[in-house]
Structure 1
């Protein structure tokens, strides 16, 4: 049965080889058989530039390229951790970079896909941070810093982000339903797929008097999370990590 696969929020890093192993296994055993693979952001824990000589990045790029060369197109939407993934890495990986919002046809159902952080409008501090970090001139300056300096900045941001999450109420970091409906109405769809919140679920609600659905992808911290969409419907699936001991 044909299907399209979606993943997000893997947060790949050298410190979590178990996640990397699960991802590589998923790519080699499952993604190659899909009609398409969509990565909806935060594939990496952080990204300091396409020029970073990271063995992990080369490994991931090779897995994507092997998938695309076997006939499964790979599409990537930036997340809040890896929004600086650029054309150089995309070319190496054989994947297509998409804008932050895209409507795709999934077996006859127009579907809006995104990372999901723009839906969390109650978190004003994060939205302000997001606007600043998307300034093109700031990214241009950052990419011209020495690699060691960029790594230090990224590590500092990660630390502050972790502390900020501890200090905020969970509902502030979740999506704002009014914003969900606004963006779905603007896109002219009744189905939305996103990640970012790490709260895998399928939410059914009413939009302009008609049934609508929001599907949230899970993270890969304790297990893999995959959304499979086919002609017969959608299914949120989990993947157990292999014992690394």
Structure 2
């Protein structure tokens, strides 16, 4: 498990960018930070699914996002960058020297605040056994070795067809009964001694109390180009900001 992290004022949370050849918001965000147009965060937490498809073992996906990966690595030499792997982006440790990658096995990441410990995770770790089996299977080195060989042999058609399919998915939608479903799901989380949970994956931009635990689900950066800046670590007040203005 990754060691506990101390949350700092000015930290930025960014979730579910789903970067592809039609969306380059993450690349734009990193460019704006590099230029000073967006103030330099004290910490950057990437909450998973930042790309529609990025697998460390699949070379085509690495090549597709090479410039964005270079920008992330450059930023990680200036500030701590924590990348929590999602279900669209995983086996990423081989891609970075300075970005702190948190694979699903090491989630949730424990973050210390003056009010207590918060859990950070992408949001897809605790589910039905079929999903848990799939997450292990698709991350297996031998499965990905076979997929990489097939992808090369078929002129990258596997990666290209999968990317085309993912680009057509409707990811910006409300989940009916989300709060009730979340309350049930949180029973699987290790909440002993925890004051809050922050995660992405569901794209709902919602927060509520579950017993003594505060729950925050971030909106999708792909949907509204919003990210969250910690203005107060005592109360975990996150100001919602937008890539192109209209900040609140």
Scaled by the length of structure 2, the TM-score of the pair is: 0.74
Pair 1:36–1:240, CA change in 2 (3 A): closer
CA distance in 1, matches of 2:130, 2:77: 42
In structure 2, how many angstroms separate the alpha carbons of the residues matched to 1:160 and 1:61?
Answer: 23
Listed as ranges, the gaps of 5+ residues in structure 1 are none
The separation in 1 between residues aligned to 2:112 and 2:126, in whole angstroms, is 21
1:97 to 67, 89, 101: 101
Per the alignment, residue 138 of structure 2 pairs with 133
Does 2:190 correspond to 1:184?
A: yes
Partner deviation per Cα, 1:80-102 (whole Å, 9 max, x = no partner): 11113232x112xx201123212
Count of residues paired in the alignment: 229
Q: Which runs of 5+ in 2 are unaligned?
A: 1-7
What is the match of residue 204 of structure 2? 199
More helix by share: 1
Q: Distance in 2 between matches of 1:173 and 1:192?
A: 15
Asked if structure 1 preserves the Cα contact closer than 8 Å seen for 2:118 and 2:195, the reply is: yes
Rate the CA distance shift 1:228–1:241 in 2: closer, same or farther, 3 A: closer
CA–CA distance in 1 between the matches of 2:37 and 2:196?
24
Matches within 5 A, 1:1-245: 2-18=9-25, 20-26=27-33, 28-29=35-36, 33-49=40-56, 51-52=59-60, 57-70=65-78, 72-87=79-94, 89-91=95-97, 94-100=98-104, 101=107, 102-107=109-114, 109-119=116-126, 121=128, 126-127=131-132, 129-147=134-152, 149=154, 151-157=156-162, 170-171=175-176, 176-185=182-191, 188-206=193-211, 211-229=212-230, 230-232=232-234, 233-241=236-244
What root-mean-square deviation, in Å, do the aligned CA atoms of Structure 1 and Structure 2 show?
Answer: 3.5
TM-aligned CA deviation for residue 42 of structure 1: 0.7
Deviations 1:83-131 (A, max 9, x none): 13232x112xx2011232121213452111111012454xx76555434
